Structure 1
Amino acid sequence: MNDEDMAAGLDALVPRLRQFVAVAREEHLTRAAEQLGVPQPTLSRSIARLEAELGVPLFSRPGRSVKLTRHGRLLFEYSERTLTTLAAQLRLLAEETDPARGRVALAFLHTLGTDAVPRMLRDFRATHPAVRFVLVQGSADMLLARLRAGEADLCLTAPLPNEPGIVTRKLDSQRIDLVVPAGHRLARRRGVRLAEAAAEEFIGMPPGHGLRAISDELCRAAGFEPRIAFEGEETATCRGLVGAGLGVALLPALAAIDADPEVAAVRITAPRAARTVGLAWVADRPLPAPVAAFRDFALTYRDRLLH
């Protein structure tokens, strides 16, 4: 059988697969027809056409019963398994798209995982207690890649991407501070122009992280290129490196930083230092009901996600 014949065979088999399996299980056309809710002559003609299109007999017909032939047993073994697997996957699909019990795959930055995202999930589940979440954390580039690939339904990120096919909505702004060791010359300042730190060694996140792009742009706006001494994947690591006296860092204003006695967070007076945090999703991809419900809920967090 060549590829064209195989494709034609599949076209014939797939719509009749359930009928074939029912007859094979019952070994009786009338009982199978009753189970399927079709007239017995219609089922007989359908099986006969299937045998003719495949070119092999699937059943022998001793008396009123039917028995699988060797070819029929071969087809039945895989057909039954396929139908069972398909039914299980359809049940899973129904569960995932159920507005009350479905699943949301949410991607978000590490810096949003300590307070903002847990608070948002808590408030959403007050009215949708059975909705399940798959949480994905990582760099901005990685999160957007997961979103494009369909591995994430929604993405909380900063800065907001500007690319075709991605819808974005601003939720909130978050101040960026200059974080210095507790004994640093700038530690007791209430505010500082970022240009005053031009000679410092900086600790930042690796390229591909949204915060790295924002930090580099802030330094350029202040008239210098930052000298990166160390790179850390998370803000906690960067804060620890600053506390050890290994450099300064541009980090979001976070309660954990304010509570750390080893570092001081100094407000930047120039240039304006903040990042826009928002929600992103793929424009032409229909959102299942639970995802759409969470998206609409998240948009109500505008201007209060980070407060």
Structure 2
Amino acid sequence: MTSDWGIALTPRLAHFVAVARHEHVTRAAHELGVPQSTLSRAVTRLEDDLGVALFARHGRTVSLTPAGRTFLASAERALAAVEQAAESVRSDADPATGKVAFGFLHTLGWETVPGLIRAFRAEHPRVRFALVQTYGEAMLERLRAGELDLCLTSPMPDAPDLVARRLDEQRLRLVVPEDHPLAARRRIRLAEAAEEPFVTLEPGYGMRRILEAMCAEAGFRPRIAFEGEEAETIRGLVAAGLGVALLPPPAFARPGVHELTVTAPRAVREIGLAWAEGRPDTPPVAAFKRFLLSRRGHLLDQQVGAA
């Protein structure tokens, strides 16, 4: 069956199933709240489209033909699937118990996001969350595809199909091995690390773009020694003496490394909330969006070392 057949047949499935259950057109029409003549025409047209007789007529009553019994089983499954899908979307949109599909960066997953959800659920205890933890470009593609309602990302996206609002900023630090000559210092200009091998996240990650932009501002292009997919793995590579890294604060103290404040250029990354332009929010999504926007400037308060 082609998609055109599906479009043609779907509106008449409920009519067919009602007549089949009652074996009487008048009673089925009463149940559906439609004129008997309308229901009779719908069933006849369905038979004409299929090219088979679904009912045998016996005066005012009808009975299913063998073809009708076969078609009824599939029609009932199709209607049940539609009803289940409708119930699912109604449940997800329920203001009290609905669902929010929420994406965020790996580096916000230890404390920031759990703390935000805990604070939000103090007022909305039954709202459900589908959480997606990934890197920036992949998250924005899932946002565009409708798989996510909202996401926390960095750097801020600049695209006509997305809306982004700045929520906070996070200081970045130069991470060096604890036995590195720079480990004796507390502050550094990024240009002083121009000859160091860098360990960083792979292309497509927001921190990779930020590193390259900051190094360009400092007057050099970073020499990449190793690439990874997760910030704490990058710290582990630094601890092993494989290079230095520019990273946000850790969720917990990591042995084997020393972290320096970068004095120039200004070493911060903006954390923003993004959503798809023009897509209507369900009540739970709208409530969570308002909650996050209300925390502008305080999003990272609960994160270790965020100040």
**Does TM, scored on the shorter chain, surpass 0.5?**
yes
Aligned residue in 2 for 1:271? 265
Equivalent of 2:285, from 291, 297, 304?
A: 291
Q: Which amino acid letter does the alignment assign opposite residue 245 of structure 1?
A: G
Q: Which stretch has the larger CA shift, 141-150 or 267-276?
A: 141-150
Identity among equivalent pairs (%): 56
User: Is the CA contact 2:149–2:275 (under 8 Å) kept in the aligned structure 1?
Assistant: yes
Equivalent of 1:76, from 44, 69, 72?
A: 72
Q: Which amino acid letter does the alignment assign opposite residue 171 of structure 2?
A: R
What's the TM-score once normalised by structure 1's chain length? Answer: 0.91
Q: For residues 123-162 of structure 1, what are the structure 2 equivalents within 5 Å?
A: 123-162=119-158
Q: Which amino acid letter does the alignment assign opposite residue 282 of structure 2?
A: P
Q: Which SS does the other structure have where 1:187 is aligned?
A: helix
* Whole-Å separation in 2 of the counterparts to 1:118 and 1:144: 21
User: Is the CA contact 2:110–2:251 (under 8 Å) kept in the aligned structure 1?
Assistant: no
Q: Which amino acid letter does the alignment assign opposite residue 273 of structure 1?
A: A
Q: Which amino acid letter does the alignment assign opposite residue 59 of structure 1?
A: F
Q: Which SS does the other structure have where 2:61 is aligned?
A: coil
Q: Which amino acid letter does the alignment assign opposite residue 65 of structure 1?
A: T
User: Is the CA contact 2:212–2:221 (under 8 Å) kept in the aligned structure 1?
Assistant: yes
Measured against aligned partners, the alpha-carbon deviations of 1:86-124 in whole angstroms (never above 9, x if no partner) come to 111111111111121111111111000011111111111
Q: Which amino acid letter does the alignment assign opposite residue 237 of structure 1?
A: T
User: Is the CA contact 2:186–2:259 (under 8 Å) kept in the aligned structure 1?
Assistant: no
Note closer, same or farther for the CA distance 1:202–1:12 as it changes in structure 2 (3 Å cut).
closer
Alpha-carbon offset, residue 12 of structure 1? 5.5
Alpha-carbon offset, residue 271 of structure 1? 0.7
- Asked if 1:303 corresponds to 2:303, the answer is no
RMSD: 2.1
Aligned residue in 2 for 1:239? 235
Q: Which stretch has the larger CA shift, 71-80 or 41-50?
A: 41-50
Q: Which amino acid letter does the alignment assign opposite residue 250 of structure 1?
A: L
* Whole-Å separation in 2 of the counterparts to 1:198 and 1:187: 16
Aligned residue in 1 for 2:159? 163
* Whole-Å separation in 2 of the counterparts to 1:67 and 1:85: 25
* Whole-Å separation in 2 of the counterparts to 1:281 and 1:205: 24
Q: Which stretch has the larger CA shift, 170-179 or 145-154?
A: 145-154
Note closer, same or farther for the CA distance 1:27–1:205 as it changes in structure 2 (3 Å cut).
same
Note closer, same or farther for the CA distance 1:42–1:149 as it changes in structure 2 (3 Å cut).
closer
* Whole-Å separation in 2 of the counterparts to 1:77 and 1:295: 44
Aligned residue in 1 for 2:222? 226
Q: Can you give the 5+ residue segments of structure 1 that lack an aligned partner in the other structure?
A: none
Aligned residue in 2 for 1:35? 31
* Whole-Å separation in 2 of the counterparts to 1:16 and 1:100: 35
Alpha-carbon offset, residue 57 of structure 1? 3.1
Q: Which stretch has the larger CA shift, 211-220 or 43-52?
A: 43-52
Alpha-carbon offset, residue 243 of structure 1? 1.0
Equivalent of 1:61, from 50, 57, 61?
A: 57
* Whole-Å separation in 1 of the counterparts to 2:6 and 2:276: 33
Alpha-carbon offset, residue 165 of structure 1? 1.1
Matched pairs, number: 301
Alpha-carbon offset, residue 54 of structure 1? 5.0
Alpha-carbon offset, residue 49 of structure 1? 4.7
Aligned residue in 2 for 1:217? 213
